[in-house]
A and B are shown apart, each in its own frame.
Chain A
Amino acid sequence: MKNVFCSALAAASLSCIHPSTTGELYRAQGEFSLAAEYMAIGYEQDGRETASELSRTIELARSEYKEKLAAVEANKQYVDAFELVREWQEFEYWVESRRIDEISALDLKPVVRRLEEKAVNESLQRFDDLSVGDVEHSILLPVLRQALALSPNDAELARRYERLKAALTRQTFITVQCPPSFGDLCRELRSLWVEELTKVRRELIFDIGLQNGRYDTRLNLILSDHTSGQQWYRKEEGRREATVPVLNELREVVVDDDGNKVVRGIAANFQVWESWRRVEVHGAVVEENLRGASTGPKRYASSFSSQSQTQYIYWTGDERALVAGGLISKYGTSRRGPQSYENLRRQAAMKVLSAIFSQWIKGMES
């Protein structure tokens, strides 16, 4: 037992992957900042032994940042350069927080300031260029938003953003149409839609709720279902035969004069019964934009099928004949039926709702 323990411990200590080894793997792939994360964990475990490797990895990460930054700056992509230098700056703060001997963090504040100014100019220029043309509001909005994010105290930009946002904001109201089979699920689906919509703060879409009657986008969720199923039916039947050793009154195996086990034949007749239920739900949201009636309604659709199937085995005769073939463990003996249509309908309806919501929100928020 002691040997087992020692061998296991030895195996654990010898074969286990050290963070620095994983760091080397990432470094070999050119993922220097990820490699540095691993090297730092290795450094915390082993101290000075891995300091040089960590230091080398950090230098490689810095060189990579420097090269990437030079490339985007050369292309005059200052917004991209600013985003990159913010990542590099975070990396340097991380280096500083590790308190690694002989490695000090670089102060990138002047570079960040310089690139921030250029990024502001670039984003304003981009916005001005788009503003003079006949560009759709939905294209202009992200550009304006980025410019405002880079110059958050620019009151004029803020005003223009609010105006543009107001023009694009949609006050939605959703109604749900379901067949009677849905029962309370119909009301629940409406709540789930609203919950999904309000889970995160939205820039352009709001649900106005039941109390407020002023909305500019009407959504109609139409659901239908198709149920099918089969009551218990005999799926399979047969007979299995096997041999078992003969036991004496002391439950010992009986052997013949030649020393061979004495066996006897056993048999069982079996039937496999099966039952299944399936609900297929089809759903569609029809969106009517009441502001621009000329655009016509948009339709987002999805469908999903939920199925539940159960089986059991019934037999007469000696069950040991079935155990040998694994039939009892395969089919089980429980005669519990498949899931109810209500459960299956709920599962399918949730999937359909989720799929339609994803399609719709993608179109609305992008």
Chain B
Amino acid sequence: MLNFGTRFAGPLVLALTLVCTSCFPLSLGRRFASDPQKVVKVGFHKEQDVVDLLGRPYRRTIDADGRVLLVYLWTDGEGAGEKCVIGFNELGVAHSLEVSP
């Protein structure tokens, strides 16, 4: 009996974990810590300031001119979500902020 229990315990736990974890809506990113349009000051905040205010970005991209773009993204996997792209100029100061939808 003990042998039977231990033999199938691992796979059973694995299967239950699969059922419990992978069948929830697939969310991406994290909810925004603050409203980017309220806390980020275009023309003043630098990349590190934005990270301090909004947390770690979902993605960081550098364009062909060497300018940074930070992407903050959050979706709940059920139809709701937000995306915020903050662009920085060559001096590293935020020069664009677009939030959608």
Contacts and interface: CB of A to CB of B under 8 A. Distances in A.
B81 A200 contact: no
Interface string A76-100: 0000001110110110011001000
A19 B26 contact: yes
A97 B95 CA distance: 24
Contacts of A200: 49, 52-53
Interface residues of A, number: 47
Nearest to A41: B26
Contacts of B46: 201
Given A94-B61, A142-B43, A203-B41, A16 B23 contact: yes
Contacts of A25: 78-79
A347 to B, nearest CB: 22
Instruction: Say which size band chain B's interface belongs to.
Output: 35 or more
Interface in B58-101: 59, 61, 63-64, 69, 71, 73, 75, 77-79, 81, 83, 85, 87, 89-91, 93-98, 100-101
A47 interface: no
Contacts, number: 129
Given A12-B19, A84-B98, A86-B87, A145 B43 contact: yes
Interface stretch (A146-154, A242-250, A336-344): A146-154
Nearest to B67: A86
Given A8-B12, A33-B100, A37-B75, A152 B85 contact: no
B96 A12 contact: no
Contacts of A8: 12, 15-16, 18-19
Contact of B12 (A5, A17, A38): A5
A25 B46 CA distance: 35
A11 interface: yes
Nearest to A200: B52
A97 B79 CA distance: 25
A93 B53 CA distance: 25
A22 B98 contact: no
Interface string B28-71: 10000000000001111110010011000001010110000101
A146 B42 contact: yes
A148 B11 contact: no
Contacts of A97: 61
Contact of B28 (A37, A89, A109, A146): A37
Contact of B45 (A33, A93, A201): A201
B81 A34 contact: yes
B87 A83 contact: yes
29 contacts: A4-B15, A5-B8, A8-B15, A9-B18, A12-B19, A17-B23, A19-B26, A22-B26, A25-B79, A31-B101, A33-B100, A34-B73, A37-B28, A37-B75, A86-B69, A86-B87, A87-B83, A87-B85, A90-B61, A90-B69, A142-B43, A145-B41, A146-B42, A146-B95, A149-B43, A149-B93, A150-B95, A201-B45, A201-B46
Given A19-B26, A34-B81, A148-B43, 16 more contacts: A4-B12, A5-B15, A8-B15, A12-B18, A17-B77, A29-B79, A34-B73, A34-B75, A38-B28, A38-B75, A41-B26, A86-B87, A94-B71, A146-B42, A149-B95, A201-B52
